[in-house]
Amino acid sequence: MASFLQLLKLAVRQSIGPQRAPRVPEPSAAMEQQQQVRDYDRAGESKLALSYQAVLWFLSRLPADWHNGRALDVCCGPGHFTCALAKHFPMREVVGMDLSAPMLQAAERRVCTEGLNDRVHLIRANALEIDRLFRPHSFRLITSNNALHHFENLRQIRALLCAFEQLVQPGGWIVLSDLVRLRTPELNDRYVDVLAGDYPQQGLGQLMADFRASMHAAWLPEELAETLPAGGSHRWEIIVPRFLPTIQLIVARPLATQTGSGQAVTPPDLGASGLEWHLLKLSLLTARRLGPLG
């Protein structure tokens, strides 16, 4: 487990000086290699569970009226979050979508094992063509985790977010999460070593390599802020933890229903306890927020 001192050192180094790390794009969009899929299928046992827990926790704090309809989980991978969504919230249906056939096979197995076949459905499709797949206003909730860094450029992401806004109902929510590229290439590597240094002993060496590639490919909140739609049915913002900004939530909140932040349901516990989760939760509570640019 990462120690507080290690994380504090990273936070201090992150806060000093300008952004220098160039973005290094992922080698491919869809994740199809056997070992990648095998390791990612075990992501629930790894620190990745922190990102699922953060989004579920955020969702649990929203007013309750979002979870009585259909949800769409875009780039669902092996379905950890897709299944958690169906398990912890009373969504009528959760649709998981991914471009990778082997990822979807893993997701299918998870759906069966968890007995969620009646409410979770999976489809193979390219997120970039999503506007052709569903009718406008089909979903009460749209999610996507750890995937925006797989897209080649900000133009694609802007198109994706606009399509999401078309597909979500006027009173529905869009809640996305992804990693944040740190200030220097060394800091990105150090963060991966601190958080995932024990992955190889757990047989998750490929997941560690993928995590490293993802940190280098991740978008800065300031870059993603350029892609946020403005003037539509939703108010978009990016929520970035202050302590160590390694995750960002990209949220579109409905203008139609004025929202408080009542406790909707008990926050699900995915077992991501420990120091990292407590720090992340604390720094999400005091996060900085970025709106659309320009």
31 touches ligand SAM by CB under 6 A: yes
Taking CB under 6 A as the binding criterion, the range among 73-81, 245-253, 264-272, 285-293 that sits at the site for ligand SAM is 73-81
Query: If binding means CB under 6 A, how many residues of this protein chain bind ligand SAM?
Result: 20
Residue type, 17: G
Residues 6+ apart with CB under 8 A from 248: 177, 178, 179, 180, 221, 224, 238, 239, 240
Nearest to 86 by CA among 103, 105, 72, 65: 72
Q: Which two tokens stand for residue 153?
A: 């450029």
CA–CA distance, 153 with 24 (Å, rounded to integer): 11
142 touches ligand SAM by CB under 6 A: no
Torsion of CA 182, 187, 190, 194, to 10 degrees: -50
Taking CB under 6 A as the binding criterion, the range among 112-120, 126-134, 227-235, 255-263 that sits at the site for ligand SAM is 126-134
- Count Cβ atoms below 10 Å from residue 285 Cβ, excluding itself: 10
Taking CB under 6 A as the binding criterion, the range among 145-153, 179-187, 190-198, 230-238 that sits at the site for ligand SAM is 145-153
Least distance from ligand SAM to the Cβ atom of residue 177, Å: 8
CA–CA distance, 244 with 276 (Å, rounded to integer): 10
Least distance from ligand SAM to the Cβ atom of residue 8, Å: 27
146 touches ligand SAM by CB under 6 A: yes
Nearest to 41 by CA among 109, 120, 98: 109
Secondary structure (H, E, C), 128-186: HHHHHCCCCCCEEEEEEECCHHHCCCHHHHHHHHHHHHHHEEEEEEEEEEEECCCCCHH
30 touches ligand SAM by CB under 6 A: yes
Residue 7 to residues 20, 240, 275: CA-CA distances in angstroms? 20, 16, 10
- CB-count exposure of residue 1 (10 Å: 0-12, 13-18, 19+): exposed
Least distance from ligand SAM to the Cβ atom of residue 51, Å: 7
Q: Which two tokens stand for residue 294?
A: 């320009």
127 touches ligand SAM by CB under 6 A: yes
Taking CB under 6 A as the binding criterion, the range among 61-69, 123-131, 228-236, 285-293 that sits at the site for ligand SAM is 123-131
Least distance from ligand SAM to the Cβ atom of residue 103, Å: 4
Do residues 208 and 276 make contact, with C-beta atoms less than 8 angstroms apart? Answer: no
Looking at beta carbons only, is 206 or 283 nearer to ligand SAM? 206
Least distance from ligand SAM to the Cβ atom of residue 217, Å: 10
Taking CB under 6 A as the binding criterion, the range among 71-79, 185-193, 223-231, 280-288 that sits at the site for ligand SAM is 71-79
Least distance from ligand SAM to the Cβ atom of residue 50, Å: 11
147 touches ligand SAM by CB under 6 A: yes
Least distance from ligand SAM to the Cβ atom of residue 179, Å: 9
Taking CB under 6 A as the binding criterion, the range among 11-19, 86-94, 96-104, 281-289 that sits at the site for ligand SAM is 96-104
Binding interface with ligand SAM (CB under 6 A): 29-31, 43, 75-77, 80-81, 98-100, 103, 126-128, 145-147, 150
